[in-house]
Structure 1
Amino acid sequence: MFADVSITTTIFPLYDVVKNIGGDNVKLTNLVPFGVEAHEFEPKAKDIAALSKSDYFIISSPVFETWSTKIISSLKIQDKTIDMSQKVKLIEMKHSEHEHEHKGSYDPHYWLSIDNYMNVAKEVAALLSTKDPENAKLYEANLAAYLVKLEALKTDYEVLKSCKNKKVIVNHDAFEYLAQEYGITQYSITGMTPETKPSPKQIAQLIDLTKKEKIPTVFFEEFASDKVAKSIAKEANVKTDALRPVENITVAESKKGIGYIDIMKENLVKLHDAMDCQ
């Protein structure tokens, strides 16, 4: 059977939601390869060629994919591009010492709000149903099943509201949607993108903060360097662990069919432990 709709997504959370709702009816391509740090990705000529053949191009936002605006304009695909940041509730960027690197006025990691991710799923189902009305009932059924799973995930996350220590140190400013929803304060090592280098002063402040606030875990990310996180943890005599902004998965995980919900569940276990939840 040939797929009825071809879609190119930019990053893993979008890819995963289209996969869950479209299934075999969608020829799905994700631009950022598995195992690659999503912030550092720049599309190559072959990516652009594949993109020009897709029915739809779904981007997370021009803030996250800064390269997308130029490509959309050069390929003249404005009419088949969907910017999912326009379909969700965004929060304003926090002003910080990393001000120079901000590319927009909002935090682009909105899929870490489960409510926002549900909205993305609904938008994808509506898009597919419009393009391929013969299979609309299938897309609606897949959406309903996926929303049940996301609702269950949201219920699980409610436990974070009852934690004793609601401060976390993370690798980069990716978790503000979760933080605002569950009353958590996030401190980040690098700011809005993981490749920014913190100053010695910022590192010293984070070491002091970890000791003073009795923060038991310094979180790093699997696709970014863990060097600074581990040195902070060593100086403060606490442990490290990986907390994932769900921007991508590894090649091995893709073969196992690991999805957004799986990673969010892993994150919850780690936050539950680090924040002394009931």
Structure 2
Amino acid sequence: MNVRRLIPAAALAGAVALGATALTACSGASAAGGNTDGRLAVTASFYPMQFLAERIGKEHVAVTTLTKPGVEPHDLEITPKQTGRLGESDVILYLKTLQPAVDKAVAQSGVKNVVDAGTLTALEAHAASGHDDHDHAAGDHAAEGEEHDHGGAGKDPHVWLDPAKYAEIAKGVGAALGKADPAHAADYEKNTATLVTELGSLDTEFKDGLKNTASKTFITTHAAFGYLAERYGLDQEGISGIDPESEPSPARMKDLQGVAAKDKVTTVFFETPAGDKTAKALATDTGLKTDVLDPLEGITDKSQGADYFEVMRSNLKNLQKALGAK
């Protein structure tokens, strides 16, 4: 015999409320993003943003990146499907003007928690040449794209290569994650503090390691190291400006040969993701060595390290060797 039992209204209401509370506790702040595992859905535009999200968010976040390993961030194209998925994010971390396709997709995403890393620290303009006393033919730099000009802003976006500025961005990212996911704000704050301390130690390593060198000038295919050079008292000489794939003019190559002789340059650097044909050509013409200086726009199996810290320390070691650190 079937027996139907009536549940008092008050008890039923309490059960519903309890169930709703449990559901909210399990889903957390990422419920709006539709995550079944309860983690905050974070989309990073490229590796430096991905690294911060993973180190600060740890087990509380599910991080995806728009720029896959080996893809040149500047040339990234985004499909309509990717743009649609971007809209499911709880938080988006990107660096405005670095990747025009990402800027457009972010604007169309409708996501509430959007963090532009460029607003978390002061961006500056850097030329491909760190020397003011070199004679250049009029219009050379403009023709070769040697001034960083992203979206007309004229600011150099490569702030992550300066550990001190990267630490400032880390603090902003930590605060943003805490705002999006208040339940784990204390963890984000703790993880941010740990990361900022590590970045401070890295900054000290660079200062000490590059304090006394035989030369202060380094030549690189990609003029991405303006912040690093400024922070540690070095002079960057970029071969191809912002685009590592572009071909420098004969006048620029001749100018760099003069720089190498004058400033006792021993090495021409190329970056891991790009080819080293231009660097080797200049090295051959000047009798210089070649080595890697990685702009850390992505990590691949060819990178000299598995993460940001390892690659940055490899960069430091290579700079010390090339500049004759004492």
**TM-score, normalising length: structure 2:** 0.79
**What is the correspondence of 1:34-45 to structure 2 with a 5 Å cutoff?**
34-45=69-80
Aligned residues, how many?
274
Secondary structure of 2:53 counterpart: helix
1:88 to 121, 143, 146: 121
2:49 aligned with 1:49 = no
Secondary structure of 2:100 counterpart: coil
Q: Which moved more, 1:225-234 or 1:38-47?
A: 38-47
> Partners of 1:136 and 1:239 in 2: how far apart?
49
Aligned to 2:193: 144
Aligned to 1:75: 109
Which residue identity lines up with residue 247 of structure 1 in the other structure? E
CA RMSD of aligned residues (A): 2.1
Which residue identity lines up with residue 83 of structure 1 in the other structure? D
> Partners of 2:278 and 2:292 in 1: how far apart?
13
**What is the correspondence of 1:98-109 to structure 2 with a 5 Å cutoff?**
98-99=141-142, 101=145, 102-103=149-150, 104-109=153-158
> Which string of whole-angstrom CA distances, capped at 9 and with x for unpartnered residues, describes residues 35-86 of structure 1?
2222221122332122111012111122x11223322333344x43211101
Secondary structure of 1:197 counterpart: coil
**What is the correspondence of 1:131-170 to structure 2 with a 5 Å cutoff?**
131-159=180-208, 160-170=210-220
Shift of 1:120: 1.4
Shift of 1:3: 4.1
Which residue identity lines up with residue 62 of structure 2 in the other structure? K
Report which of the two structures shows the higher radius of gyration computed on alpha carbons.
Answer: 2
Which residue identity lines up with residue 94 of structure 2 in the other structure? I
Q: Which moved more, 1:1-10 or 1:80-89?
A: 1-10
> Partners of 1:95 and 1:204 in 2: how far apart?
15
> Partners of 1:46 and 1:33 in 2: how far apart?
16
Which residue identity lines up with residue 41 of structure 2 in the other structure? S
> Partners of 1:142 and 1:75 in 2: how far apart?
28
Which residue identity lines up with residue 288 of structure 2 in the other structure? V
> Partners of 1:95 and 1:116 in 2: how far apart?
20
- Does the Cα contact within 8 Å between 2:128 and 2:236 map onto a contact in 1? no
> Partners of 1:10 and 1:164 in 2: how far apart?
38
Q: Which moved more, 1:183-192 or 1:33-42?
A: 33-42
Structure 1 residues without counterparts, runs of 5 or longer: none
> Partners of 2:190 and 2:288 in 1: how far apart?
46
**What is the correspondence of 1:218-229 to structure 2 with a 5 Å cutoff?**
218-229=268-279
- Does the Cα contact within 8 Å between 1:11 and 1:31 map onto a contact in 2? yes
> Partners of 1:251 and 1:269 in 2: how far apart?
19
> Which string of whole-angstrom CA distances, capped at 9 and with x for unpartnered residues, describes residues 144-181 of structure 1?
22122111111101121222200000111111101111
> Partners of 2:79 and 2:46 in 1: how far apart?
15
Ranked by relative contact order (alpha carbons within 8 Å, sequence separation 6 or more), the top structure is 1
> Partners of 2:128 and 2:322 in 1: how far apart?
26
> Partners of 1:156 and 1:74 in 2: how far apart?
42
Which residue identity lines up with residue 310 of structure 2 in the other structure? D
Secondary structure of 1:8 counterpart: strand
Structure 2 residues without counterparts, runs of 5 or longer: 1-35, 130-139
> Partners of 1:13 and 1:69 in 2: how far apart?
16
> Partners of 2:233 and 2:302 in 1: how far apart?
34
Secondary structure of 1:231 counterpart: helix
> Partners of 1:5 and 1:88 in 2: how far apart?
24
2:178 aligned with 1:129 = yes
> Partners of 1:253 and 1:139 in 2: how far apart?
28
Shift of 1:98: 3.6
Shift of 1:112: 1.2
> Which string of whole-angstrom CA distances, capped at 9 and with x for unpartnered residues, describes residues 220-247 of structure 1?
0111121010011111111101101111
Distance 1:124 1:42, change over 3 A: same
- Does the Cα contact within 8 Å between 1:176 and 1:186 map onto a contact in 2? yes
**TM-score, normalising length: structure 1:** 0.91
